[in-house]
Amino acid sequence: MLSLCQALLTTGSIVLISVAGLIGQSLAPLSSLITLPVATQYIGLMAAALPASFVMAKIGRKRGFALGNLIGILGAALCFLALGLSAFWTFTLGTFFLGVGFGFGTYYRFAAVEVAARGHQSKAISLFMSGGVLAAILGPNLAMVSQYWLPDNAFQGAFLGIGVVYCISLITLKFIAMPDRLGPSTVFHANPTLKILQYPGFFAAVLAGTVSYTVMTLLMTVTPMAMLRCGFEFSDSAVVIKWHVLGMFVPAFFTGHLINLVGTRNTILLGGLLFVACIFVNYNGFTLWHFKSALLLLGVGWNFMFIGATNLLTNSYLPENKAKAQAINELVIFGSATLTSLLSGWLEISVGWKMLNVLMLPFIITVIWVFLTNGKELRRLAA
């Protein structure tokens, strides 16, 4: 049920990304502001990273997720109203609130760990992430079908659809049993940030999660632009993105078993090798096969590294540091993803497709080096 809530939230994000750029083209007062509504979604997500964790520590996971859903519904309502009034700045405010709602939803994966039986945390994270398969199917289809709901303003239907899926998520939450709250000690008695960062495995987990999410976001965002420059049609890039999303979430059905079989460290290292393979394929060709196979490798590599990093993180802080540690992790990951999403277009134009891929290699190699040189400490932590 947590996986369903996450899938519905991700569905709303996919619908927003599908239409926000097109809406920006029609409403933005300046051409330079066309992608601002997309950027403000990520800014809202980043802005929610810290407060969402502390709010949940005080009022509980369930109430915190419900609050996030309500903020998302408010954002969808503002976007719906803005399209009726052709009000660009109101629309931008609405996408910011949608981003805040999604920021609360990033903590669903930690809730999955908390409700899982001891010893099954890695499987819980993995099965939870598999809900992305539903979002990959539902999101694009909802974006297309909703255009026919309100013929006078086609894109208004998209935000009506987002509001509906958020309401379904809100109702689903009522039937999920979760710990009421993390306890006041997790907010007021947490260790200093520097001490949390020094806890065994914490830095490595944050590094792996940040690099995997940032590199994936950047290459995924830039690939359609690179394909357009190579003469491919929009339908070709849509097929490539579809394979990428399936690569991100389909392996989640067995990633937990893989972690139990070979360990968290080796799963993250395998994800790093798949990232390197993706960059190698991207560098060596511009055919549809190259783009499709590279993005598939990127998706699977992200799945292994991100799920592995999440599993490692949950074992890398003391109970009283839970809220603060998770907040630091989310702020770093989604702050980096926000920055790269804003810079992606400029980077692709400035350095080119091949060099952009090469620039990702040092980050991936750094993760591989950290996990190769800290094997004993990470194995001891896992034990």
C-alpha to C-alpha distance for 221 and 234, rounded to whole angstroms: 14
Q: How confident is the model at residue 189 (pLDDT cuts 50, 70, 90)?
A: low
Fold of 187-383: Growth Hormone; Chain: A; (1.20.1250)
Of residues 38 and 274, which shows the higher confidence score? 274
Cα–Cα–Cα angle for 125, 1, 142, rounded to 5 degrees: 100
∠ Cα 99 362 49 (to 5°): 20
Say how many Å lie between the first and final Cα of the chain, rounded.
30
Q: How many CB atoms lie within 10 A of CB 14?
A: 20
When pLDDT is cut at 50, 70 and 90, the band that residue 180 belongs to is low
Q: Is residue 251 a contact partner of residue 341, using CB atoms and an 8 Å limit?
A: no
pLDDT value at 184 more than 50: no
Name which of 360, 353, 341, 327 is nearest 64 in CA terms. Answer: 327
Lowest mean pLDDT among 116-120, 256-260, 367-371: 116-120
Say which residue, 190 or 3, is predicted with more confidence. Answer: 3
The whole-angstrom separation of Cα 55 and Cα 86 is 34
Which pLDDT belongs to residue 6?
Answer: 85
**DSSP state letter for 149:** T
Confidence class for position 379, pLDDT limits 50, 70, 90? low
What rounded mean pLDDT belongs to the chain?
83
What's the count of helices (H) and strands (E) in the chain, helices before strands?
Answer: 18, 0
Residue 38 has pLDDT above 80, yes or no: no
Q: Quick check: 345 pLDDT over 60?
A: yes
Q: What is the mean pLDDT of residues 315-320?
A: 81
Name the nearest CA neighbour of 333 among 4, 98, 48, 63: 48
pLDDT in tens, 59-102: 888 889 999 999 999 999 999 999 888 888 999 999 999 999 98
Q: What is the pTM of this model?
A: 0.78
pLDDT in tens, 42-56: 888 888 878 888 888
Give the rounded distance of the alpha carbon of 317 from its chain centre. Answer: 22
Whether 247 contacts 295, CB under 8 Å: yes
pLDDT score at 382: 57
d(CA 5, CA 165): 9
Ranges of CATH 1.20.1250.20 domains, the chain: 1-182, 187-383
168's CB contacts (< 8 A; 6+ apart) are: 8
Backbone angles phi, psi at 135, to 5 degrees: -65, -40
Distances (CA, A) of 121 to 75, 209, 370, 372: 33, 17, 23, 23
Q: What is the pLDDT of residues 124-135, one digit of tens each?
A: 777 777 777 888
Quick: pLDDT tens for 191-235: 676 777 777 788 899 999 999 999 998 888 788 778 878 888 766
90-122 pLDDT, tens digit each: 999 999 999 999 889 888 888 887 787 777 777
- Average of per-residue pLDDT across 357-363: 93
Round to whole Å and give the CA distance between 201 and 275.
22
Q: How many CA atoms lie within 13 A of 156 on its CB side?
A: 13
Ramachandran quadrant class, 183 (left: phi over 0; alpha: psi -120 to 50; beta: rest): left
| Contact predicate 351/359, CB 8 Å | yes
Instruction: Decide: helix, strand or coil at residue 28.
Output: coil
Q: How confident is the model at residue 352 (pLDDT cuts 50, 70, 90)?
A: confident
Residue with tokens 């097109």: 22
The domain covering 1-182 belongs, at the CATH homologous superfamily level, to MFS general substrate transporter like domains (1.20.1250.20)
Q: What is the pLDDT of residue 188?
A: 47
Percent of the chain with pLDDT over 70: 90
Residue 370 tokens, joined: 């950290």
